[in-house]
Structure 1
Protein backbone atom coordinates (compact mmCIF):
# COMPACT_ATOMS: atom_id res chain seq x y z
CA UNK A 1 0.00 0.00 0.00
CA UNK A 2 1.16 3.50 -0.72
CA UNK A 3 1.40 6.06 2.05
CA UNK A 4 -1.80 7.89 2.96
CA UNK A 5 -1.84 11.35 1.40
CA UNK A 6 -3.75 14.35 2.68
CA UNK A 7 -4.87 15.51 -0.77
CA UNK A 8 -6.12 13.96 -3.98
CA UNK A 9 -3.22 12.44 -5.98
CA UNK A 10 -1.92 13.81 -9.24
CA UNK A 11 -3.15 12.44 -12.57
CA UNK A 12 -1.09 9.58 -13.94
CA UNK A 13 -0.75 7.55 -17.13
CA UNK A 14 -1.50 4.40 -15.14
CA UNK A 15 -5.18 3.60 -15.54
CA UNK A 16 -7.05 3.39 -12.24
CA UNK A 17 -10.55 2.24 -11.38
CA UNK A 18 -13.07 4.53 -9.73
CA UNK A 19 -12.02 5.54 -6.21
CA UNK A 20 -13.93 4.27 -3.21
CA UNK A 21 -14.16 5.13 0.46
CA UNK A 22 -12.10 2.92 2.76
CA UNK A 23 -14.48 1.08 5.11
CA UNK A 24 -13.80 0.45 8.79
CA UNK A 25 -11.41 -2.35 9.69
CA UNK A 26 -14.18 -4.38 11.36
CA UNK A 27 -16.47 -4.11 8.35
CA UNK A 28 -13.64 -5.02 6.02
CA UNK A 29 -12.82 -8.17 8.01
CA UNK A 30 -16.47 -9.27 8.10
CA UNK A 31 -16.80 -8.66 4.37
CA UNK A 32 -13.70 -10.76 3.71
CA UNK A 33 -15.05 -13.59 5.85
CA UNK A 34 -18.38 -13.56 4.01
CA UNK A 35 -16.85 -13.38 0.53
CA UNK A 36 -13.99 -15.78 1.10
CA UNK A 37 -14.13 -18.59 -1.48
CA UNK A 38 -11.63 -21.23 -2.60
CA UNK A 39 -9.45 -20.29 -5.58
CA UNK A 40 -9.99 -22.20 -8.82
CA UNK A 41 -7.40 -24.77 -9.94
CA UNK A 42 -4.21 -23.40 -11.48
CA UNK A 43 -5.03 -24.72 -14.95
CA UNK A 44 -8.11 -22.51 -15.17
CA UNK A 45 -8.07 -18.87 -16.25
CA UNK A 46 -7.63 -16.53 -13.25
CA UNK A 47 -10.79 -14.86 -12.05
CA UNK A 48 -11.29 -11.11 -11.83
CA UNK A 49 -10.60 -11.26 -8.09
CA UNK A 50 -7.31 -13.06 -8.67
CA UNK A 51 -6.33 -10.56 -11.35
CA UNK A 52 -7.12 -7.71 -8.97
CA UNK A 53 -5.04 -9.36 -6.23
CA UNK A 54 -2.11 -9.72 -8.63
CA UNK A 55 -2.46 -6.12 -9.76
CA UNK A 56 -2.64 -4.95 -6.14
CA UNK A 57 0.56 -6.83 -5.35
CA UNK A 58 2.58 -5.44 -8.27
CA UNK A 59 0.89 -2.04 -8.58
CA UNK A 60 -0.25 -1.06 -5.07
CA UNK A 61 -3.41 1.03 -4.72
CA UNK A 62 -3.05 4.67 -3.83
CA UNK A 63 -4.79 6.23 -0.86
CA UNK A 64 -5.57 9.77 0.18
CA UNK A 65 -7.70 11.59 2.67
CA UNK A 66 -10.29 14.30 2.06
CA UNK A 67 -11.72 15.72 5.25
CA UNK A 68 -12.61 12.83 7.57
CA UNK A 69 -12.94 10.29 4.75
CA UNK A 70 -10.13 8.07 3.52
CA UNK A 71 -10.22 7.07 -0.14
CA UNK A 72 -8.57 4.22 -1.99
CA UNK A 73 -8.12 3.73 -5.72
CA UNK A 74 -6.90 0.49 -7.26
CA UNK A 75 -5.51 0.06 -10.73
CA UNK A 76 -8.11 -0.85 -13.30
CA UNK A 77 -8.60 -4.54 -14.12
CA UNK A 78 -10.29 -3.74 -17.43
CA UNK A 79 -8.51 -5.23 -20.46
CA UNK A 80 -6.85 -2.74 -22.79
CA UNK A 81 -7.97 -2.27 -26.37
CA UNK A 82 -5.97 -1.09 -29.35
CA UNK A 83 -7.50 2.34 -28.88
CA UNK A 84 -6.26 2.39 -25.26
CA UNK A 85 -2.72 1.72 -26.45
CA UNK A 86 -2.93 4.53 -29.02
CA UNK A 87 -4.37 6.90 -26.43
CA UNK A 88 -1.59 5.95 -24.01
CA UNK A 89 1.00 6.98 -26.59
CA UNK A 90 -0.84 10.25 -27.23
CA UNK A 91 -1.14 11.01 -23.50
CA UNK A 92 2.55 10.29 -23.01
CA UNK A 93 3.51 12.70 -25.80
CA UNK A 94 1.11 15.34 -24.46
CA UNK A 95 2.45 15.06 -20.91
CA UNK A 96 6.06 15.21 -22.11
CA UNK A 97 5.29 18.40 -23.99
CA UNK A 98 3.03 19.89 -21.31
CA UNK A 99 5.50 19.32 -18.47
CA UNK A 100 8.42 20.41 -20.67
CA UNK A 101 10.46 17.25 -20.27
CA UNK A 102 13.95 17.35 -21.71
CA UNK A 103 14.53 15.13 -24.74
CA UNK A 104 18.16 14.36 -23.88
CA UNK A 105 20.14 14.08 -20.69
CA UNK A 106 18.91 13.30 -17.21
CA UNK A 107 15.33 14.48 -16.70
CA UNK A 108 13.26 13.47 -13.63
CA UNK A 109 10.02 14.45 -15.40
CA UNK A 110 10.73 12.22 -18.39
CA UNK A 111 11.80 9.39 -16.08
CA UNK A 112 8.56 9.71 -14.09
CA UNK A 113 6.32 9.74 -17.19
CA UNK A 114 8.08 6.79 -18.80
CA UNK A 115 7.80 4.92 -15.50
CA UNK A 116 4.04 5.55 -15.43
CA UNK A 117 3.76 4.40 -19.05
CA UNK A 118 5.72 1.23 -18.26
CA UNK A 119 3.45 0.53 -15.27
CA UNK A 120 0.40 0.90 -17.52
CA UNK A 121 1.92 -1.55 -20.03
CA UNK A 122 2.56 -3.99 -17.18
CA UNK A 123 -1.08 -3.62 -16.12
CA UNK A 124 -2.35 -4.26 -19.63
CA UNK A 125 -0.12 -7.31 -20.14
CA UNK A 126 -0.80 -8.70 -16.66
CA UNK A 127 -4.58 -8.74 -17.27
CA UNK A 128 -4.13 -10.89 -20.37
CA UNK A 129 -1.26 -13.02 -19.02
CA UNK A 130 -0.13 -12.80 -15.41
CA UNK A 131 3.17 -14.58 -16.12
CA UNK A 132 4.21 -12.08 -18.78
CA UNK A 133 3.12 -9.26 -16.50
CA UNK A 134 5.31 -10.58 -13.69
CA UNK A 135 8.18 -10.92 -16.17
CA UNK A 136 7.77 -7.28 -17.17
CA UNK A 137 7.63 -6.42 -13.47
CA UNK A 138 11.01 -8.07 -12.98
CA UNK A 139 12.36 -6.11 -15.94
CA UNK A 140 11.04 -2.87 -14.41
CA UNK A 141 12.52 -3.67 -10.99
CA UNK A 142 15.86 -4.60 -12.55
CA UNK A 143 15.90 -1.31 -14.44
CA UNK A 144 15.12 0.59 -11.26
CA UNK A 145 17.86 -1.25 -9.38
CA UNK A 146 20.32 -0.53 -12.19
CA UNK A 147 19.40 3.15 -12.23
CA UNK A 148 19.65 3.29 -8.42
CA UNK A 149 23.07 1.62 -8.59
CA UNK A 150 24.27 4.11 -11.20
CA UNK A 151 22.85 6.96 -9.13
CA UNK A 152 24.64 5.70 -6.03
CA UNK A 153 27.85 5.33 -8.03
CA UNK A 154 27.42 8.83 -9.43
CA UNK A 155 26.78 10.31 -5.99
CA UNK A 156 29.79 8.42 -4.61
CA UNK A 157 31.92 9.75 -7.47
CA UNK A 158 30.68 13.27 -6.82
CA UNK A 159 31.43 12.87 -3.12
CA UNK A 160 34.88 11.47 -3.89
CA UNK A 161 35.55 14.33 -6.29
CA UNK A 162 34.45 16.89 -3.72
CA UNK A 163 36.63 15.30 -1.05
CA UNK A 164 39.60 15.30 -3.41
CA UNK A 165 38.90 18.92 -4.36
CA UNK A 166 38.72 19.89 -0.68
CA UNK A 167 41.91 17.97 0.04
CA UNK A 168 43.60 19.68 -2.90
CA UNK A 169 42.37 23.07 -1.75
CA UNK A 170 43.50 22.31 1.80
CA UNK A 171 46.87 21.14 0.50
CA UNK A 172 47.11 24.26 -1.65
CA UNK A 173 46.36 26.43 1.35
CA UNK A 174 48.94 24.58 3.42
CA UNK A 175 51.50 24.89 0.62
CA UNK A 176 50.82 28.60 0.26
CA UNK A 177 51.16 29.07 4.01
CA UNK A 178 54.42 27.09 4.00
CA UNK A 179 55.68 29.11 1.02
CA UNK A 180 54.86 32.36 2.82
CA UNK A 181 56.66 31.08 5.92
CA UNK A 182 59.72 30.10 3.87
CA UNK A 183 59.72 33.48 2.13
CA UNK A 184 59.64 35.20 5.52
CA UNK A 185 62.49 32.99 6.72
CA UNK A 186 64.44 33.73 3.53
CA UNK A 187 63.97 37.48 4.03
CA UNK A 188 65.16 37.12 7.62
CA UNK A 189 68.19 35.14 6.46
CA UNK A 190 68.95 37.76 3.80
CA UNK A 191 68.78 40.42 6.50
CA UNK A 192 71.14 38.43 8.70
CA UNK A 193 73.52 37.86 5.77
CA UNK A 194 73.56 41.59 5.01
CA UNK A 195 74.12 42.36 8.68
CA UNK A 196 77.01 39.90 8.99
CA UNK A 197 78.44 41.15 5.71
CA UNK A 198 78.47 44.69 7.06
CA UNK A 199 80.09 43.45 10.26
CA UNK A 200 82.72 41.56 8.27
CA UNK A 201 83.47 44.63 6.14
CA UNK A 202 83.70 46.77 9.26
CA UNK A 203 85.98 44.28 11.00
CA UNK A 204 88.09 43.91 7.87
CA UNK A 205 88.45 47.68 7.63
CA UNK A 206 89.42 47.86 11.29
CA UNK A 207 91.95 45.07 10.83
CA UNK A 208 93.46 46.86 7.82
CA UNK A 209 93.72 50.09 9.79
CA UNK A 210 95.24 48.23 12.73
CA UNK A 211 97.71 46.47 10.44
CA UNK A 212 98.71 49.72 8.77
CA UNK A 213 99.16 51.32 12.18
CA UNK A 214 101.23 48.38 13.43
CA UNK A 215 103.33 48.33 10.24
CA UNK A 216 103.96 52.06 10.53
CA UNK A 217 104.81 51.74 14.19
CA UNK A 218 107.12 48.81 13.45
CA UNK A 219 108.83 50.74 10.67
CA UNK A 220 109.34 53.72 12.97
CA UNK A 221 110.77 51.47 15.66
CA UNK A 222 113.11 49.82 13.16
CA UNK A 223 114.26 53.24 11.94
CA UNK A 224 114.71 54.46 15.50
CA UNK A 225 116.74 51.41 16.50
CA UNK A 226 118.74 51.67 13.29
CA UNK A 227 119.65 55.28 14.04
CA UNK A 228 120.39 54.41 17.61
CA UNK A 229 122.60 51.59 16.49
CA UNK A 230 124.50 53.84 14.11
CA UNK A 231 124.97 56.46 16.80
CA UNK A 232 126.19 53.91 19.31
CA UNK A 233 128.48 52.42 16.72
CA UNK A 234 129.88 55.84 15.89
CA UNK A 235 130.38 56.65 19.56
CA UNK A 236 132.05 53.29 20.11
CA UNK A 237 134.38 53.83 17.18
CA UNK A 238 135.19 57.32 18.40
CA UNK A 239 135.91 55.98 21.86
CA UNK A 240 138.17 53.24 20.59
CA UNK A 241 140.02 55.32 17.99
CA UNK A 242 142.63 57.01 20.37
CA UNK A 243 143.52 53.69 21.88
CA UNK A 244 144.48 52.29 18.51
CA UNK A 245 146.95 55.12 17.88
Structure 2
Protein backbone atom coordinates (compact mmCIF):
# COMPACT_ATOMS: atom_id res chain seq x y z
CA UNK A 1 0.00 0.00 0.00
CA UNK A 2 1.36 3.45 -0.95
CA UNK A 3 0.89 6.22 1.67
CA UNK A 4 -0.95 9.38 0.57
CA UNK A 5 2.22 11.48 0.69
CA UNK A 6 5.82 10.98 1.62
CA UNK A 7 6.95 12.33 4.99
CA UNK A 8 10.23 12.34 6.85
CA UNK A 9 8.38 10.99 9.90
CA UNK A 10 8.49 7.19 10.02
CA UNK A 11 5.06 5.56 9.95
CA UNK A 12 3.91 1.95 10.12
CA UNK A 13 2.21 0.25 7.22
CA UNK A 14 -1.35 1.47 6.58
CA UNK A 15 -4.18 -0.54 8.11
CA UNK A 16 -7.52 -0.97 6.36
CA UNK A 17 -10.37 0.26 8.56
CA UNK A 18 -13.41 -0.08 6.32
CA UNK A 19 -14.46 -0.11 2.72
CA UNK A 20 -16.82 2.86 3.12
CA UNK A 21 -16.25 6.26 4.66
CA UNK A 22 -19.63 6.95 6.25
CA UNK A 23 -20.07 8.21 9.79
CA UNK A 24 -21.01 4.81 11.24
CA UNK A 25 -17.76 3.18 10.21
CA UNK A 26 -15.88 6.21 11.48
CA UNK A 27 -17.49 5.87 14.92
CA UNK A 28 -16.79 2.14 14.88
CA UNK A 29 -13.16 2.81 14.04
CA UNK A 30 -12.97 5.32 16.88
CA UNK A 31 -14.21 2.65 19.30
CA UNK A 32 -11.76 0.07 18.00
CA UNK A 33 -8.86 2.52 18.28
CA UNK A 34 -9.86 3.86 21.67
CA UNK A 35 -6.29 3.95 22.80
CA UNK A 36 -5.55 6.88 20.51
CA UNK A 37 -8.75 8.77 21.45
CA UNK A 38 -7.56 9.60 24.93
CA UNK A 39 -4.05 11.00 24.57
CA UNK A 40 -4.26 13.29 27.57
CA UNK A 41 -5.02 10.40 29.98
CA UNK A 42 -2.18 8.34 28.56
CA UNK A 43 0.28 11.22 28.85
CA UNK A 44 -0.83 11.92 32.42
CA UNK A 45 -0.40 8.26 33.33
CA UNK A 46 3.07 8.24 31.86
CA UNK A 47 4.13 11.41 33.66
CA UNK A 48 2.80 10.19 37.00
CA UNK A 49 4.46 6.79 36.64
CA UNK A 50 7.95 8.34 36.79
CA UNK A 51 9.61 5.32 35.21
CA UNK A 52 11.29 5.30 31.80
CA UNK A 53 9.58 3.33 29.09
CA UNK A 54 11.69 0.25 28.22
CA UNK A 55 12.22 -0.76 24.64
CA UNK A 56 10.62 -4.04 23.57
CA UNK A 57 12.87 -7.10 23.11
CA UNK A 58 13.71 -8.26 19.63
CA UNK A 59 12.09 -11.67 19.89
CA UNK A 60 9.51 -13.48 21.99
CA UNK A 61 6.44 -12.22 23.78
CA UNK A 62 6.54 -9.13 25.93
CA UNK A 63 6.10 -9.38 29.69
CA UNK A 64 2.96 -7.70 31.03
CA UNK A 65 4.82 -4.68 32.40
CA UNK A 66 6.84 -4.17 29.23
CA UNK A 67 3.74 -4.63 27.11
CA UNK A 68 1.93 -2.01 29.19
CA UNK A 69 4.88 0.38 28.91
CA UNK A 70 4.99 -0.14 25.15
CA UNK A 71 1.26 0.57 24.97
CA UNK A 72 1.80 3.80 26.92
CA UNK A 73 4.60 4.76 24.55
CA UNK A 74 2.35 4.11 21.54
CA UNK A 75 -0.42 6.18 23.15
CA UNK A 76 1.98 9.06 23.73
CA UNK A 77 3.30 8.80 20.17
CA UNK A 78 -0.26 8.82 18.82
CA UNK A 79 -0.98 11.90 20.94
CA UNK A 80 2.16 13.71 19.77
CA UNK A 81 1.88 12.58 16.13
CA UNK A 82 -1.74 11.66 15.34
CA UNK A 83 -2.36 8.82 12.88
CA UNK A 84 -2.85 9.71 9.24
CA UNK A 85 -6.12 8.84 7.52
CA UNK A 86 -6.68 8.64 3.80
CA UNK A 87 -9.03 7.00 1.36
CA UNK A 88 -8.25 5.06 -1.77
CA UNK A 89 -10.81 3.45 -4.05
CA UNK A 90 -13.54 3.89 -1.45
CA UNK A 91 -11.47 2.30 1.32
CA UNK A 92 -10.47 4.05 4.54
CA UNK A 93 -6.88 3.51 5.66
CA UNK A 94 -5.16 4.54 8.89
CA UNK A 95 -1.41 4.83 9.29
CA UNK A 96 0.05 5.22 12.77
CA UNK A 97 3.47 6.53 13.63
CA UNK A 98 6.12 3.87 14.08
CA UNK A 99 7.06 2.84 17.62
CA UNK A 100 10.28 1.07 16.65
CA UNK A 101 13.45 2.55 18.22
CA UNK A 102 15.78 4.51 15.98
CA UNK A 103 19.41 3.64 15.43
CA UNK A 104 22.38 5.75 14.45
CA UNK A 105 21.92 4.65 10.85
CA UNK A 106 18.30 5.88 10.93
CA UNK A 107 19.50 9.33 11.98
CA UNK A 108 22.08 9.40 9.19
CA UNK A 109 19.43 8.31 6.68
CA UNK A 110 17.11 11.00 8.02
CA UNK A 111 19.75 13.66 7.40
CA UNK A 112 20.35 12.38 3.87
CA UNK A 113 16.62 12.32 3.17
CA UNK A 114 16.32 15.89 4.44
CA UNK A 115 19.09 17.09 2.13
CA UNK A 116 17.56 15.20 -0.80
CA UNK A 117 14.09 16.63 -0.11
CA UNK A 118 15.45 20.16 0.18
CA UNK A 119 17.17 19.82 -3.17
CA UNK A 120 14.27 17.98 -4.81
CA UNK A 121 11.63 20.53 -3.76
CA UNK A 122 14.00 23.45 -4.48
CA UNK A 123 13.79 24.99 -1.03
CA UNK A 124 15.45 28.35 -0.54
CA UNK A 125 18.58 28.32 1.60
CA UNK A 126 17.90 31.69 3.24
CA UNK A 127 14.91 33.85 4.00
CA UNK A 128 11.33 32.74 4.51
CA UNK A 129 10.59 29.46 2.74
CA UNK A 130 7.43 27.40 3.52
CA UNK A 131 8.95 24.29 1.92
CA UNK A 132 12.07 24.41 4.09
CA UNK A 133 9.97 25.10 7.18
CA UNK A 134 7.71 22.11 6.43
CA UNK A 135 10.65 19.74 5.93
CA UNK A 136 12.44 20.85 9.09
CA UNK A 137 9.18 20.52 11.00
CA UNK A 138 8.92 16.92 9.82
CA UNK A 139 12.51 16.28 10.88
CA UNK A 140 11.79 17.74 14.31
CA UNK A 141 8.73 15.49 14.65
CA UNK A 142 10.84 12.49 13.70
CA UNK A 143 13.46 13.42 16.31
CA UNK A 144 10.69 13.79 18.90
CA UNK A 145 9.57 10.28 17.96
CA UNK A 146 13.12 8.98 18.49
CA UNK A 147 13.37 10.63 21.90
CA UNK A 148 9.86 9.64 23.03
CA UNK A 149 10.53 5.95 22.42
CA UNK A 150 13.57 6.07 24.72
CA UNK A 151 12.17 8.55 27.27
CA UNK A 152 8.51 9.56 27.20
CA UNK A 153 9.00 12.51 29.56
CA UNK A 154 11.75 13.95 27.38
CA UNK A 155 9.55 13.53 24.32
CA UNK A 156 6.67 15.35 26.02
CA UNK A 157 9.03 18.18 26.95
CA UNK A 158 10.17 18.42 23.34
CA UNK A 159 6.52 18.46 22.36
CA UNK A 160 6.04 21.56 24.52
CA UNK A 161 9.06 23.15 22.86
CA UNK A 162 7.66 22.35 19.42
CA UNK A 163 4.23 23.77 20.27
CA UNK A 164 5.84 26.90 21.73
CA UNK A 165 7.88 27.41 18.56
CA UNK A 166 4.81 26.94 16.39
CA UNK A 167 2.81 29.34 18.55
CA UNK A 168 5.58 31.94 18.32
CA UNK A 169 5.79 31.54 14.55
CA UNK A 170 2.00 31.84 14.30
CA UNK A 171 2.12 35.02 16.38
CA UNK A 172 4.83 36.48 14.15
CA UNK A 173 2.85 35.47 11.07
CA UNK A 174 -0.27 37.15 12.45
CA UNK A 175 1.75 40.25 13.28
CA UNK A 176 3.25 40.24 9.79
CA UNK A 177 -0.17 39.87 8.14
CA UNK A 178 -1.63 42.65 10.29
CA UNK A 179 1.33 44.90 9.49
CA UNK A 180 0.94 44.17 5.79
CA UNK A 181 -2.78 44.98 6.01
CA UNK A 182 -1.96 48.18 7.90
CA UNK A 183 0.61 49.10 5.28
CA UNK A 184 -1.89 48.45 2.49
CA UNK A 185 -4.48 50.65 4.20
CA UNK A 186 -1.93 53.42 4.59
CA UNK A 187 -0.88 53.00 0.98
CA UNK A 188 -4.50 53.26 -0.18
CA UNK A 189 -5.03 56.33 2.00
CA UNK A 190 -1.85 57.85 0.63
CA UNK A 191 -2.99 57.04 -2.90
CA UNK A 192 -6.35 58.72 -2.27
CA UNK A 193 -4.62 61.73 -0.71
CA UNK A 194 -2.17 61.76 -3.60
CA UNK A 195 -5.01 62.43 -6.07
CA UNK A 196 -6.20 65.39 -3.98
CA UNK A 197 -2.69 66.74 -3.68
CA UNK A 198 -2.12 66.36 -7.42
CA UNK A 199 -5.34 68.29 -8.10
CA UNK A 200 -4.22 70.98 -5.68
CA UNK A 201 -0.80 71.10 -7.34
CA UNK A 202 -2.45 71.51 -10.75
CA UNK A 203 -4.58 74.38 -9.42
CA UNK A 204 -1.54 76.05 -7.88
CA UNK A 205 0.43 75.63 -11.09
CA UNK A 206 -2.44 77.21 -13.05
CA UNK A 207 -2.51 80.11 -10.57
CA UNK A 208 1.24 80.42 -10.90
CA UNK A 209 0.99 80.50 -14.71
CA UNK A 210 -1.68 83.19 -14.51
CA UNK A 211 0.39 85.25 -12.09
CA UNK A 212 3.47 84.86 -14.26
CA UNK A 213 1.47 86.03 -17.28
CA UNK A 214 0.24 89.02 -15.30
CA UNK A 215 3.79 89.76 -14.19
CA UNK A 216 4.96 89.66 -17.81
CA UNK A 217 2.18 92.06 -18.79
CA UNK A 218 3.07 94.43 -15.96
CA UNK A 219 6.75 94.25 -16.91
CA UNK A 220 5.92 95.06 -20.53
CA UNK A 221 3.73 97.93 -19.37
CA UNK A 222 6.51 99.26 -17.14
CA UNK A 223 9.02 99.04 -19.97
CA UNK A 224 6.62 100.88 -22.28
CA UNK A 225 6.10 103.60 -19.70
CA UNK A 226 9.83 103.91 -19.12
CA UNK A 227 10.45 104.14 -22.88
CA UNK A 228 7.80 106.82 -23.29
CA UNK A 229 9.13 108.80 -20.35
CA UNK A 230 12.66 108.53 -21.69
CA UNK A 231 11.56 109.81 -25.08
CA UNK A 232 9.56 112.64 -23.45
CA UNK A 233 12.55 113.64 -21.34
CA UNK A 234 14.83 113.65 -24.34
CA UNK A 235 12.33 115.72 -26.32
CA UNK A 236 11.91 118.22 -23.51
CA UNK A 237 15.65 118.36 -23.03
CA UNK A 238 16.18 119.13 -26.73
CA UNK A 239 13.48 121.83 -26.60
CA UNK A 240 15.07 123.29 -23.48
CA UNK A 241 18.50 123.36 -25.13
CA UNK A 242 17.04 124.95 -28.24
CA UNK A 243 15.32 127.61 -26.14
CA UNK A 244 18.61 128.26 -24.34
CA UNK A 245 20.39 128.61 -27.65
CA UNK A 246 17.70 131.01 -28.90
CA UNK A 247 17.91 133.01 -25.71
CA UNK A 248 21.69 133.16 -25.95
CA UNK A 249 21.57 134.40 -29.54
CA UNK A 250 18.94 136.96 -28.62
CA UNK A 251 21.04 138.05 -25.68
CA UNK A 252 24.09 138.33 -27.92
CA UNK A 253 22.20 140.38 -30.46
CA UNK A 254 20.83 142.70 -27.79
CA UNK A 255 24.27 143.15 -26.32
CA UNK A 256 25.70 143.96 -29.74
CA UNK A 257 22.96 146.51 -30.39
CA UNK A 258 23.46 148.02 -26.96
CA UNK A 259 27.17 148.33 -27.48
CA UNK A 260 26.60 149.91 -30.91
CA UNK A 261 24.24 152.44 -29.33
CA UNK A 262 26.54 153.27 -26.43
CA UNK A 263 29.67 153.62 -28.54
CA UNK A 264 28.82 157.12 -30.14
CA UNK A 265 27.68 158.42 -26.80
CA UNK A 266 31.08 157.84 -25.28
CA UNK A 267 32.80 159.73 -28.07
Q: Which category of TM-score, normalised to the shorter sequence, fits these structures?
A: 0.5 to 0.7
Question: How big is the shift at 1:128?
Answer: 0.8
Structure 1 residues 132 and 76 mapped into 2: Cα distance closer, same or farther (>3 Å)?
Answer: same
Question: How big is the shift at 1:86?
Answer: 0.9
Secondary structure in structure 1 of the residue aligned to 2:100: coil
Between the aligned partners of 1:100 and 1:144, the Cα distance in structure 2 is 23
CA-based RMSD:
3.2
Whether the 8 Å CA contact 1:14–1:120 is kept in 2: the answer is yes
Matched, 1:120 2:142: yes
Tell me which residue corresponds to 1:167: 189
Whether the 8 Å CA contact 1:19–1:74 is kept in 2: the answer is yes
Tell me which residue corresponds to 1:108: 130
Tell me which residue corresponds to 1:29: 31
Between the aligned partners of 1:152 and 1:32, the Cα distance in structure 2 is 36
Between the aligned partners of 1:161 and 1:32, the Cα distance in structure 2 is 49
Structure 1 residues 174 and 30 mapped into 2: Cα distance closer, same or farther (>3 Å)?
Answer: closer
Tell me which residue corresponds to 2:151: 129
Question: How big is the shift at 1:74?
Answer: 0.6
Structure 1 residues 51 and 30 mapped into 2: Cα distance closer, same or farther (>3 Å)?
Answer: closer
| Runs of at least 5 residues in structure 2 that lack an aligned partner in the other structure | 19-24, 36-44, 54-67, 222-267
- Normalised by the size of structure 1, how large is the TM-score? 0.66
Structure 1 residues 190 and 119 mapped into 2: Cα distance closer, same or farther (>3 Å)?
Answer: same
Question: How big is the shift at 1:27?
Answer: 6.9
Structure 1 residues 185 and 9 mapped into 2: Cα distance closer, same or farther (>3 Å)?
Answer: same
Question: How big is the shift at 1:188?
Answer: 7.3
Aligned with residue 49 of structure 2, among 22, 42, 50: 42
| Runs of at least 5 residues in structure 1 that lack an aligned partner in the other structure | 1-6, 34-38, 199-245
Structure 1 residues 147 and 31 mapped into 2: Cα distance closer, same or farther (>3 Å)?
Answer: closer
Size of the aligned set, in residue pairs, is: 188
Question: How big is the shift at 1:145?
Answer: 1.1
Whether the 8 Å CA contact 1:51–1:127 is kept in 2: the answer is yes
Aligned with residue 83 of structure 2, among 47, 50, 61: 61
Whether the 8 Å CA contact 2:17–2:29 is kept in 1: the answer is no
